[in-house]
Amino acid sequence: MRTVGVEEELLLVDPETGEPQALSAAVLARATRDAAEPDVFEKELHNQMLEFATHPRSGMDELGEEIVRIRGEAARHAGEIGCTVAALATSPLPVRPSVSMNRRYQWMAEQYGIATQEQLVCGCHVHVSVGSDDEGVAVVDRIRPWLSVLSALSGNSPFWQGKESGYSSYRSRVWQRWPSAGPTELFGSAERYHRRVADMVETGTILDEGMVYFDARLSARYPTVEIRVSDVCLHADTAVLMATLARGLVETAAREWKAGEDPVDHSVSLLRLAGWRAARSGLTDDLLHPATMRRAPAEAVVRALLEHVGEALDDAGDLERARAGCARLLRDGNGARVQREVWERTGSLREVVTTCVRHTQG
């Protein structure tokens, strides 16, 4: 059974006004002092953000319980200094982000200018264990067409600087401003993957391997494939669904590799279009079908994903969980739909944030 870990980035907000608060250093100080596991929380690029990481888990129930528990701890630590946390991939309200003061982030601010200043976005990264770099690169090559479906399912960023963006995941569009972000061509081997990463670092355009922001990459720290396309999910059970589907994709791809099946050779240009379409419409309109790269109803594309990973999910005991989670999102909508429904009902972006605070904490 492959293990799975989740990294979530949360937005720190005022519980009354909903405005982002640049208090991550104070929250981290509280967490370090009080937590039984002080390394759970980390500083992120902006002071309005707080990141946490779960342990590697084999069971999705245990993973879900840990996400809920750590979200609760984050809210408690934040509450001690007068703010709270929201699983929002962008701030609905206008914000002037402040970059954290360390050497790495200051280098990014100097190198990329306004693109760094505006990168107040929160994602959900899923790590799935692999047996070797060769297996990992084979997985990265084979999961490429399916990643846009995860983006559509997780969309949770319809507002930007106080305005309706027109996107389900505007976070993913802001993220594409990084020069190393997005889908990748086929690598074919671990040796070619590592050579490409080394060449990118040698250009001086990025600081190090950690700034290779591929949609899916080999982790620089863990023996995992790290899938990075999802918005932070409003509900913890949606984060668990992303982890479930990610593990299914990785296991399916590894089996294809071992069976000698070649990856589908869609161009990066088409993969970018698939990602844009998923970010734009989420689950409310057509997506690009991963097999054909032609438009198809979102429900049909999600069904194709479940069929693609069905055997791996069934073997892990996750098939019914994944089916139920996808059916719920298709019926009730993703986080972007929840936010828009509150906005349409109340006309208040403050109410959008405060409602999402409640959803974040279950």
**Within 10 A of 3 (CB to CB), how many other CB atoms are there?**
17
CA distances in angstroms from 238 to 242, 243, 325, listed in the order given: 6, 9, 7
Q: Which sign, positive or negative, has the C-alpha torsion 244, 136, 221, 119?
A: negative
pTM over 0.95: yes
For helices 319-332 and 298-308, what crossing angle results, to 10°? 170
pLDDT at res. 39: 77
Whether pLDDT at 209 is above 70: yes
Q: What is the pLDDT of residues 222-261, one digit of tens each?
A: 999 999 999 999 999 999 999 999 999 999 999 999 999 9
Whether 284 has a pLDDT exceeding 70, the answer reads yes
Name the token pair of 232. Answer: 């932070």
44, 51 Cβ separation under 8 angstroms: yes
Report the C-alpha gap between 7 and 246 in whole angstroms.
13
Dist. CA 342–CA 57, nearest whole Å = 34
Percent of the chain with pLDDT over 90: 95
> What is the rounded distance in angstroms from the CA atom of residue 225 to the CA atom of residue 246?
10
Judge contact between 172 and 275, C-beta under 8 A: yes
Q: What tokens does 88 get?
A: 């929002």
Q: Do residues 215 and 184 lie in contact, with contact meaning Cβ atoms separated by under 8 Å?
A: yes
Contact, 20 vs 48, CB < 8 A?
Answer: yes
Planar angle of CA 185, 191, 194, nearest 5 degrees = 70
Pseudo-torsion of CA 40, 193, 233, 107, nearest 10°? 60
**pLDDT tens for residues 4-46?**
999 999 999 999 999 999 999 999 998 888 756 667 899 899 9
Q: Which two tokens stand for residue 235?
A: 């509900």
Interstrand relation of 84-86 and 4-13 (parallel, antiparallel or unpaired): antiparallel
Phi, psi of 116 (to 5 degrees): -70, -45
Q: Which ranges constitute the DSSP H helices of 60-189?
A: 60-79, 103-112, 114-117, 133-143, 147-154, 170-175
CA distances from 36 to 30, 53, 121, 296 (A): 12, 14, 28, 48
Tens-place pLDDT, residues 48-98: 999 999 999 999 999 999 999 999 999 999 999 999 999 999 999 999 999
Both structure tokens of 337: 């739909």
The pLDDT value given to residue 36:
64
pLDDT surpasses 70 at 309: yes
* Segment 148-192, tens digit of pLDDT: 999 999 999 999 999 999 999 999 999 999 999 999 999 999 999
Question: Residue 293 region, left (φ>0) first, then alpha (ψ -120 to 50), else beta?
Answer: left
Q: Are 77 and 27 in contact (CB under 8 A)?
A: yes
The residues near 274 (Cβ < 8 Å, ≥ 6 apart) are: 145, 148, 287, 288, 290, 293
Confidence of residue 101 (pLDDT cuts 50, 70, 90): confident
**Helix/strand/coil for 226:** strand
Tell which residue, 72, 55, 221, 215, has the closest CA to residue 143.
Answer: 215
Q: Which domains does the chain have, with CATH numbers?
A: 4-360 (3.30.590.20)
Structure tokens at 285: 């309109």
Q: Within 13 Å and on the Cβ side, how many CA atoms surround 193?
A: 25
